[in-house]
Amino acid sequence: MDLPEPFLPETSPAEEANEPHQLNDLTSQSWNLEMLISGAALFATLSLPDILDSLLAYYRYDLMTDTDFIHEIIPAQVIGLIKGVSYFLFGAFLTHFVMRAFWVGLVGLLAVYPSGIRYDQVYNLSQYARKRFAQEMGSLPDYIVRLDRRCNIIFALAFSLVLLLLGVAAAYGLLILTETILQLLLPNTLYNTVRELVGWVFGIGFSAITLTILILNLPKFRENPRLAPLSFQLSQSFSVVFLGLYRPLLYIMYTFYSQIPKQVLKQRLVWFFVIFLLTEMIFIYMQLLTTLGASDVLDSRSFITLRVPDKIADPNSFDNLRNPNEQIANASIQADVIREPYVRLFVSYPKSLDAELSKRFREPNWPVGLSRKERRERRANWYLSVFETYFGVYLNDSLYKSPGFLFTQHVDTGQRGLTTVLVTANLKTGRNLLKLTVPDSTNKPIPYYQIPFWYVPEN
């Protein structure tokens, strides 16, 4: 059904006459730009997952203020979502690049042989086969046109799904940002109450708006002159979440909706989204498994586990085995096999530790007459005493009551944390265990991190 005339965009006769010519110029020159974009996207999407992993590691260590579901799990979901988008884009752009390169070859072939395929001159085929091929394959120019359309559809469809999923990732990002701002502005006692209230308001409001839109879009209410403006305004409210990606997405989606038959469109979209969502869920699931330290769930080896810290030699815990660019998860020592008469310990200090330390320790009120230098020195001494009270350091069963922590920045990763050197005079030759503990709610030591290592003294 045609739109009523008042809703059609107003254009002058000169603009209407000039538009087809401009579009023809654009479409005739767009294929080389498409190949350039596809080639650049292939390179970019291959390096994007590593960049995303680095961003997630930076967020967790330097920005994450808490270890709850919103601050830890949702960012992992966002990263998994974007990584899934990058892998999907790689497949889509690779397909487009190959198809477009084939299209360029056919265009060049048609320039050499303008008559295309001359089925009557294919002598090794029967008359019946020539007739069937002519009916099913058609002429070379027609196939080039069809292939060009398919290339354009793949290009547009890939971008539409990317815009949609980036909009979802942006919504997650807004949720995390709102949560972080509330935590920074509100005291701890009020923060939990406001957070729970905001969660309920957001959940109920989102569900109510979605349900209202679904009801108002039913054929019974869709054309109601009173309800139609309300439905339109509610649907436009989601544009805020997409952060500028909503309008470009609509251009692509409504072009497909208006050009492809409804039944065919539904079937293709259902199959396409099912396959894509299954792939996306696998990527997010694997990302969450890695985040939760349960990456061995899908391992087929029945007699091995990666969930018992004192029975695992984690390469991340040893400076000689860890990739120099990989961030230290909790703590590290110089090597898995120690020959020196000491253990050099580094304890990482993620931003999320601030909340736990602030609950247990309150900074003293320093005398007003202290100079800036004296105040800084006293504060540094107090900070170090806090860490020595909070962290318990054990070598096997021996507790270091005063490990002698100092502030440091790791030479390889640039992480800020604590360092100390533990003398190994009482270590046994062979396997040993370095343990870090922290107090629970009753100040009872509980395991924080463990590093098994071997001590083989030099002769």
Q: Domain coordinates of the chain in residue numbers?
A: 24-185+260-291, 309-363+372-455
Q: What local confidence, expressed as pLDDT, does residue 28 receive? A: 54
Q: What local confidence, expressed as pLDDT, does residue 120 receive? A: 83
Contact 132, 146 (CB under 8 A): no
Q: What local confidence, expressed as pLDDT, does residue 264 receive? A: 64
Q: What local confidence, expressed as pLDDT, does residue 449 receive? A: 93
Contact 316, 117 (CB under 8 A): no
Question: What are the pLDDT digits (tens) for 69-114?
Answer: 677 777 777 777 777 777 777 888 788 888 888 888 888 888 888 8
> DSSP characters for 20-71?
HHHHHHHHHHHHHHHHHHHHHHHHHHHHHHHHHHHHHHHIIIII----SIII
* Closest by Cα among 290, 293, 329 to 80: 290
Q: What local confidence, expressed as pLDDT, does residue 79 receive? A: 78
Question: What are the pLDDT digits (tens) for 402-457?
Answer: 899 999 999 888 899 999 999 877 788 999 999 999 998 888 899 999 999 999 98
CATH architecture of 309-363+372-455: Sandwich (2.60)
Q: What local confidence, expressed as pLDDT, does residue 179 receive? A: 75
Determine how β-strand 416-423 pairs with β-strand 342-348. Answer: antiparallel
> pTM for the complete prediction?
0.64
**Ranges of the chain with pLDDT below 70:** 1-35, 37-41, 44, 68-69, 188-189, 192, 238, 240-245, 256-257, 259-269, 271-273, 275-277, 279-302, 307, 459
Q: What local confidence, expressed as pLDDT, does residue 285 receive? A: 65
End-to-end CA distance of the chain: 91
Q: What local confidence, expressed as pLDDT, does residue 15 receive? A: 44
